[in-house]
Amino acid sequence: MYKILVSDAISDTGLTALYEHPNFAVDKKPGLPPEELKGIIGEYDALIVRSQTQVTEDILENADNLRVIARAGVGVDNIDIQAATKKGIIVINAPGANTISAAELTMAMMLSLARNIPAAHASTSEGKWERNKFKGVEMYEKTLGVIGMGKIGTEVANRALSFGMNILGYDPYLTEDRAHQMGISKASLDEIAQEADFITVHTPLIKETKGLINDEYLAKTKPGVRIINCARGGIIDENALVRALNSGQVAGAAIDVFETEPASNTELLEHPHVVVTPHLGASTVEAQEKVAHEVSEEIIDIFETQSIRHAVNMPQISGETQKKLQPYIDLAEQMGILAIQLLKQAPERVEISYAGEIAMESTDLLTRNILKGILTHHLGDTVNLINAHHLLKDQGVASNVSKNPKSKGFASYIEVTLHRGDHKANIGATILNGYGARIVKMNDYRVDVRPESNLLYIKHHDIPGMIGRVGSTLGDYDINIGTMQVGRADIGGEAIMVLTLDKKAEGDVLVGLKALKGLEDAQYLELPNEKVAVPN
């Protein structure tokens, strides 16, 4: 009999699967003080929380029998993930349970915006009858741009089609075939800006999407565009949006999520052409039941069949395997991060190969780290080591892993190749005894590069003086070179440089480099400083 503690107010209907299962006993004790929770947590095999319970390291010190912490929702900020991982506790959430609620809220916000419903309601409630003041627009035959065609974006597109709207969809993983099957048109971000009457965003908040809708982007939009954000605060630059509203470039906006919450941007909140709500995407009876049902079913699966779908921390591995793989864990994720940056677009196919001694080991953990590095670039922190395979399949990306115990010039060697149409990106790496991690192959060129935070990849013609011109240009921008590696196919032909730098090389630096005669491309590649945690 497994004992489950529910320490927050969670839907009993959603917990039915656990209540009715003969192998589980559920204690529901919402509102427990931290000391009381700490005193009883050792009795339980699983803990289910929402956002009220703070699952701290102090509480987890007593959680000697706990195997699962389930967050009935998406965010896990109230759970000390590192402390849970150290204790070998799986942390799961319910990332897809609010899909329909979020999609329906988006449609409600769009309709409210198109027909001025909140302002008209407030006016009429005050006893006024201002029919001419609140003239709206129809959504029928208007063009809707959907930025982010994941589960929620797809549901929004489906509903908007029933309104007779024309849909332009943007997503790094959206293919022409899938767009055709959905009855929508695949588009670029600029095409959406130029053609859409309404724009709604449904992407994760990551480096590439933070401030995506900014002054520059809004200037490209169709005059009188209406913008909706029920995804994540920060995707839209709020001050830029206010400026565009004031100028009339943007006719109106409907915002459910904000850069800081509770929302504090009074110019935006009080703007007469803005509809605002307090982060209601998952605030429906059904969504709350679904999150409880989803975590209940997964808890049962974890204990009964050892099947895990939505863990947000590391899987457990044996101490012996961990010791052998440890030097490669960080390197594997770094390879994925570099490969996706080199490809510059979402892949259609991923190939991973292991050679030498590493091929004799169980490399699933390394493969998951590689895939995590690849997918996080576009999908953000929704990707973890447990769901990486599932998300790759979800995006329609084919993958293949091969092993060859024969050496390829190194004791152990890993290679990752990403394909998209005729384009490919290729990274090969190894651990050199006494020297550590090394990138030894980039796009079929042999190199010897230590993976560092700031890398610069340059394609150029093999002509005299190129190295000097690159170094001089970087010097003009006060950027110091740590190391430089060069590679070429033939004398006078195509060649590459890979440099490690003391700081970032973006924006004007890349523009300056690309202006050099004989230089084909300059790309800044960034690696995170964080190390990958492995459970004890």
Which residue numbers are catalytic?
232, 261, 279
**Tokens for 1?**
């009999």
Written as one string, the DSSP assignment of 406-452 is: S-SSSSEEEEEEEEETTEEEEEEEEEETTTEEEEEEETTEEEEE---
Residue 369 corresponds to which tokens in the numbers above?
A: 């780290």
Q: Mapped to the 3 state alphabet, what secondary structure does 451-477 carry?
A: CCCEEEEEEEECCCCHHHHHHHHHHHC
Q: What share of the chain is helix, strand, coil (3-state, %, to 5)?
A: 35, 25, 40
User: How far is CA 154 from each of CA 382, 395, 518, rounded to the nearest angstrom?
Assistant: 17, 12, 44
CA-to-CA distance for 55 and 5, rounded, in angstroms? 13
* C-alpha neighbours within 13 Å on the C-beta side of residue 289: 8
Residue 501, SS3 per DSSP: strand
Q: Is 370 helix (H, G, I), strand (E, B) or coil?
A: helix
> What is the widest separation between alpha-carbon atoms in the chain?
83
Question: If you compute the radius of gyration of the chain from its CA atoms, what whole number of angstroms results?
Answer: 26
Q: Which helix (H) or strand (E) holds 136?
A: none
Place of tokens 């709207």: 165
Beta-carbon count within 10 A of 221 CB: 23
The CA-atom distances, in angstroms, between 12 and each of 2, 46, 291 are: 18, 17, 11
Report the C-alpha gap between 481 and 184 in whole angstroms: 47
Calculate helix-pair angle for 99-115, 285-305, nearest 10 degrees: 160
- What is the Cα–Cα distance from 402 to 90, expressed in whole angstroms? 29
Could you give the angle at the alpha carbon of 41 between the alpha carbons of 38 and 47, nearest 5°? 120
> Residues 71, 91: contact at Cβ < 8 Å?
yes
